[in-house]
Amino acid sequence: MLDLQELQARALDELANADSQEALEQWRHAYLGRTGELTLALRSIGQLPAEERPAAGQQANQVRQALTEGFEVRQAAVNEAAMAATLATDALDVRLPGRPQTLGHVHVITQVLRDIYGIFRQMGFSVFQTREVEDDTTNFQLLNMPPDHPARDMWSTFYATTPGVLLRTHTSPGQIHAMRQFYPDPFRVILPGKCYRYEQVTTRSEHMFHQVEGLAIGQNITIADLKGVLEHFARQMFGPERKLRFRASYFPFTEPSAECDVDCSICGGAGCQLCKHSGWLEILGGGMVHPEVLRNGGYDPDVYSGFAFGMGPERLALLKYGINDIRLFYANDLRFLQQFG
Ligand code: DAH
């Protein structure tokens, strides 16, 4: 005779101790599964004498119901405990504000370059990109600096192992490329880009820096056009209160040549370390394109004339933002760079 009472008591006892999903699953398998104790007991009822079957069947059904219900209640309790434990350790508070992605911004020198492009665009200049890896011919010779020309000393650079190949020291070789492309038309372009110098790094000079070259070629272009363009540029860039001065100078590729200074924004002209106590900061060199350079670009100097200039955006940024060390631009210190976001 089956002891269904004993089976129920034992099963419910064990169930009370099942405290995980796995334990519950094992319990269900042991009692209610296809080969579980209760299932086997139900099956064996068929072998009982006919008069005992109805009572045993009824009792077995009650036991099955008790076990099934007990299982469901226990399962709900175990699930709830598991959820409570997760909430206690893994708390996710949906009321917290979201974490926004931090956005980057363009480098301060890129911003200055874009300012420069904008100002020259107003005056009809387009941007002409040329190469950073140049040859000796274009970087020097076609700009009127034959081998051994003393002016080359000002533009010492990094040389490739291939003879005659170098990193450009200025954007001026772009003048030759532009003239050869535009000949015989008149044109106005700015040539921006990176330049390289083999020289001591100081607060005022770096191995790598940018230049923006300007070049206008046509007929009847005079130095008054150059001064007018540069004055307009300086007022747009620094505001009408900044002062500009032109000094006669020398460059092999311009004749006559000039250098242009802006009054020092750090000391207001009184003299400081940045301006080497002169009160002025050189921002560019320029002049009328040398006849030899015009000829090298394909233009007949008896018919055409032009002006050219080259400026340093890093210098302009020092002035514009009152920074006293050019090395800060490329030291990748976010505390510095993020000020220009
Ligand atoms: N290339 C010169 C430099 O690197 C700057 C310069 C001077 C450019 C006079 C010019 C110019 O186009 O006419 O210092």
Give the pTM: 0.71
Atom 12 in ligand 1: which residue has the minimum CA distance?
309
> 218-270, pLDDT tens digit by residue?
999 999 999 999 989 988 998 887 788 999 999 999 999 999 998 876 787 88
Could you tell me the distance, in angstroms and rounded to a whole number, from the CA of residue 122 to the centre of ligand 1? 22
User: Strands across the sheet with 244-251, in order?
Assistant: 126-127, 187-196, 208-218, 305-311, 280-289, 254-263, 244-251
Who's near 280: CB < 8 A, 6+ residues apart?
245, 261, 262, 263, 264, 269
Atom 7 in ligand 1: which residue has the minimum CA distance?
285
Q: What percent of the chain has pLDDT over 70?
A: 99
Q: Which atom of ligand 1 is nearest to the CA of 215?
A: 12
Contact 305, 219 (CB under 8 A): yes
Q: Which atom of ligand 1 is nearest to the CA of 155?
A: 4
Q: Give the separation between CA 270 and CA 51, rounded to whole angstroms.
A: 122
Contact 120, 230 (CB under 8 A): no
Burial 123-140 (b: 16+ CB within 10 A, else e): eebeebebeeebbbebbb
Q: How far is CA 254 from the centre of its chain?
A: 38
Q: Which atom of ligand 1 is nearest to the CA of 214?
A: 12
Q: Ligand 1, residues 143, 154, 172: which to mutate, most atoms within 8 A of Cβ? A: 172
> 90-119, pLDDT tens digit by residue?
877 788 888 999 889 999 999 999 999 999
pLDDT of 1 strictly over 70: no
The secondary structure of the chain, three-state, reads CCCHHHHHHHHHHHHHHCCCHHHHHHHHHHHCCCCCHHHHHHHHHHHCCCCCHHHHHHHHHHHHHHHHHHHHHHHHHHHHHHHHHHHHHCCCCCCCCCCCCCCCCCCHHHHHHHHHHHHHHHCCCEECCCCCEEEHHHHCHHHCCCCCCHHHHHHCCCECCCCCEEECCCCCHHHHHHHHHHCCCCEEEEEEEEEECCCCCCCCCCCEEEEEEEEEEECCCCHHHHHHHHHHHHHHHHCCCCCEEEEEEEECCEEEEEEEEEECCCCCCCCCCCCCCCCEEEEEEEEEECHHHHHHCCCCCCCCEEEEEEECHHHHHHHHHCCCCHHHHHCCCHHHHHHHC
Atom 9 in ligand 1: which residue has the minimum CA distance?
286
- pLDDT band at residue 323 under the 50/70/90 scheme: confident
The finding on whether 309 has its CB within 6 A of some atom of ligand 1 is: yes
Q: Is the peptide bond before 184 cis (omega within 30 degrees of 0)?
A: yes
Atom 5 in ligand 1: which residue has the minimum CA distance?
310
- pLDDT on residue 127: 98
Q: Which atom of ligand 1 is nearest to the CA of 154?
A: 14
Burial of 87 (0-12, 13-18, 19+ CB in 10 A): exposed
pLDDT of 76 strictly over 70: yes
- pLDDT on residue 2: 67
- pLDDT on residue 282: 84
Contact 87, 183 (CB under 8 A): no
Contact 277, 283 (CB under 8 A): no
Which residues are 262's β-sheet partners? 244, 281
- pLDDT on residue 302: 98
The pair of three-digit structure tokens given for residue 268, joined into one six-digit string = 């207001």
Q: Measuring CA to CA, which residue among 71, 82, 83 is closest to residue 38?
A: 71
Q: Measuring CA to CA, which residue among 34, 18, 159 is closest to residue 82?
A: 18
Atom 4 in ligand 1: which residue has the minimum CA distance?
170
The finding on whether 139 has its CB within 6 A of some atom of ligand 1 is: no
Q: Ligand 1, residues 145, 309, 315: which to mutate, most atoms within 8 A of Cβ? A: 309
Q: How far is CA 65 from the centre of its chain?
A: 67
Side chain identity, residue 171: T
Q: Measuring CA to CA, which residue among 239, 217, 235 is closest to residue 226?
A: 217
The finding on whether 251 has its CB within 6 A of some atom of ligand 1 is: yes
Q: What is the mean pLDDT of the chain?
A: 92
Could you tell me the distance, in angstroms and rounded to a whole number, from the CA of residue 14 to the centre of ligand 1? 93
The finding on whether 193 has its CB within 6 A of some atom of ligand 1 is: no
- List the CATH code of the domain at 108-340: 3.30.930.10
Domain ranges for the chain:
4-89, 108-340
